Structure 1
Amino acid sequence: MTFVRSLPPRDTMLAGIDAAARLPEHDRPGAVAAAIQAFAADPALLEGLDCPCCPDRYVRHLLHSDPAGGYAVVALVWRPGQMSPVHAHRTWCAFAVHHGALTETYYSQDEGDLPVPAATKLLMRGEGSHGPADPALIHRLANLSCRTAISIHCYGVAFDRFGQDVNEIHAA
């Protein structure tokens, strides 16, 4: 997929995400990830937006919500030491690091149904990950660095449904 850079980077990225989100469901996560990763490292991506952090937890800032409710794009701001819960996704998702670095840890489930770390990947600026809705794909994102990180995420549900339709929590 080729992305034209005639618009500001955020608008071009969102147009690419919109086109990718209309593909058949099995192709969406990878295509949306490609659209995000094509612009994630651009320093001007969030230009003009106020994306403050929170001392207690990572914060989501809405960048775009599909009018039809099929997906939403958010910027997550992570202070050092902040992390997501251990979770799987109830919907497809894709993300990339815009600023800083994040560590993604993948988990398997032991015989007692508890998540056990299985692999870790350091994601630098412009790098990301994606996946379908799959209760077996369990992971955690964490900012283990000494500076604030920002990542761009797209989930296959409307923003107002994030609380109940995105994460299936396995451990805090």
Structure 2
Amino acid sequence: MKQARGTVESISSLETLIQEIDQAIATESHERSRLNAVVRLVERFADGVPDEFLAQFEPGTQHYSRHLLHADAEDRFSLLCLVWRPGQGTPIHDHPEWGVLGVLRGRMRFTNYAPDEIDGQHCLVPVETFIGTAGSVGTVYPPAMDLHRMDNSSRDEIAITLHAYGCLVKEYYIYNAETGQRREAVSEFDTILEGALP
């Protein structure tokens, strides 16, 4: 049996991950505590997820693919698996709720942005970039630490990421880096696992 960091047992099934996130959200009274609990669970899943589970998710040809794994019946959380070909990435965007992003396979680049003004013009500037490899887990927590983009920084490897959000994200905003202006976008899924929707 694989072990996650330290002596904590890894999580190797989606069903167990869903049950443990459900329990953490039900028992943690503060949102930040819930977020930290979900981070630990995603770390354990990243450590134990089998290749056979990930093999069912195909990458998209024109853009990264989005696969809905679970949407909580009370809209307290959702889980998605995203598959990225080399070079595929998101535009700058935000989220309506907290999020935990785990790299399951491959290498991803995460860039955070902040509003700025250059020559009297509103814009968004990159303030932090980091590379995540398999097992790396990060968070988004609106309204702070939320404007970001991500892409597969590998030249030849597919990357797979797990995303846990504090709701089923139906709408969000995409941002123009040069003007800072935003436009609404609607979430779409390439596949929805059987039983994922309540």
The structure 1 residue matched to 2:24, chosen from 20, 28, 39, is 20
Match of 2:162 in 1: 152
Aligned partner (choices 57, 60, 69) of residue 54 of structure 1: 60
Instruction: Judge conservation of contact 1:104–1:120 (CA < 8 Å) in 2.
Output: yes
Corresponding position of 2:176: 171
Stretches of structure 2 that go unaligned for 5 or more consecutive residues are: 1-6, 178-198
After TM superposition, the runs of 4+ consecutive aligned structure 1 residues lying more than 3 A away are: 2-5
Query: Larger deviation: 17-26 or 42-51?
Result: 42-51
Larger Rg: 2
Provide closer, same or farther for how the CA distance between residues 157 and 54 of structure 1 changes in structure 2, counting only shifts above 3 A.
same
For 1:58-137, list aligned pairs within 5 A: 58-111=64-117, 112-134=121-143, 137=146
Unaligned runs of 5+ in 1: none
**What is the root-mean-square deviation in Å for CA atoms of aligned residues?**
2.3
Partner Cα distance (2:45, 2:35) in 1: 16
Work out the percentage of aligned pairs sharing the same amino acid. 30
May I ask how many residue pairs the two structures share in their alignment? Answer: 165
TM-score, L = length of structure 2: 0.74
- Distance verdict in 2 for CA 1:56–1:48, change over 3 Å: closer
The equivalent position to 1:34 in structure 2, one of 33, 36, 40, is 40
Matched-pair contact (CA < 8 Å) for 1:29–1:131: no
Instruction: Using structure 1 for the length normalisation, give the TM-score.
Output: 0.84
State the SS of the aligned residue for 2:97. coil
- The aligned counterpart of 2:3 is none
